[in-house]
């Protein structure tokens, strides 16, 4: 999945099962996917690989992107203290999504990057709170649908076991 605007780019891709030899009877342990990401912002570029999504959670990403394209996802505003809670999050708090705005150009999507997915300058003591480091992208509906289709295609080799 690739999202980009004039300021930021991100590519997310499933790499494989965390435990390649796991069996169906292993439950969630057999369904963790290593997700790779490459992010470029004005602050810098970085890459990560982390077992951050279960197979069924990974499929929710494309559903959410299509819902944003259709205009059915509500905006997520910061609370009174400025904390932004994502509207789509997963078991591991590494990746999450929220919708910042809608305008004539399309949607402003936030990709929240925490823990292992956060940039190097947000590691250690300088680490932002969970979900509070995010990258925003202004993308049109066609780009969201394309990203969802690409994500579904990339997930095809990784069914729930």
Is 30 contained in some domain? yes
| Average pLDDT of the chain, as a whole number | 93
Is 78 contained in some domain? yes
Is 160 contained in some domain? no
The number of folded domains in the chain is: 1
Say which residue the tokens 């069924």 belong to: 56
Q: What string of H, E and C letters represents the secondary structure of the chain?
A: CEEECCCCEEEEEEEEECCCCCCHHHHHHHHEEEEEEEEEECCEEEEEEEEEEEHHHHHHHHHHHHHHHHCCCCCCCCCCCCCCCCCEECCCCCEEEEEEEEECCEEEEEEEECHHHCCHHHCHHHCCCCCCCEEEEEECHHHHHHHHHHHHHHHCCCCCC
Is 38 contained in some domain? yes
Q: Domain holding 103: CATH number? A: 3.30.2450
Looking at residue 127, what is its pLDDT?
80
Is 55 contained in some domain? yes
Is 126 contained in some domain? yes
Is 161 contained in some domain? no
Domain region containing 50: 2-155
Say which residue the tokens 């999202």 belong to: 3
What confidence tens digit (pLDDT) does each residue in 11-52 have? 999 999 998 876 665 667 889 999 999 999 999 999 999 999
Looking at residue 26, what is its pLDDT?
62
Contact 55, 154 (CB under 8 A): no
Is 133 contained in some domain? yes
What confidence tens digit (pLDDT) does each residue in 80-111 have? 999 999 999 999 999 999 999 998 878 999 99
Looking at residue 23, what is its pLDDT?
63
**Percent over 90 (pLDDT), the chain:** 83
Return the minimum-mean-pLDDT range out of 37-51, 80-94, 115-129, 135-149: 115-129
Could you tell me the pLDDT band of residue 125, with boundaries at 50, 70 and 90?
A: confident
Looking at residue 124, what is its pLDDT?
77
Could you tell me the pLDDT band of residue 128, with boundaries at 50, 70 and 90?
A: confident
């Amino acid at each position: 999945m690739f999202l980009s605007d004039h300021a930021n780019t991100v590519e997310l891709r499933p790499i494989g099962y965390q435990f390649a030899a796991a069996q169906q009877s292993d439950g969630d342990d057999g369904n963790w996917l290593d997700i790779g990401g490459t992010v470029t912002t004005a602050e810098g570029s970085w890459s990560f690989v982390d077992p951050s999504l279960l197979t069924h959670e990974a499929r929710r990403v494309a559903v959410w992107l299509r819902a944003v394209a259709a205009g059915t996802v509500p905006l997520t505003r910061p609370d009174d203290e400025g904390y932004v809670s994502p509207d789509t999050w997963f078991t591991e708090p590494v990746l999450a999504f929220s919708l910042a705005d809608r305008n004539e150009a399309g949607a402003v999507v936030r990709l929240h990057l925490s823990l292992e997915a956060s940039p190097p300058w947000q590691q250690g003591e300088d680490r932002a709170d969970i979900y509070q480091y995010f990258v925003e992208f202004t993308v049109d509906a066609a780009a969201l649908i394309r990203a969802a289709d690409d994500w579904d295609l990339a997930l095809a080799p990784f069914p729930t076991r």
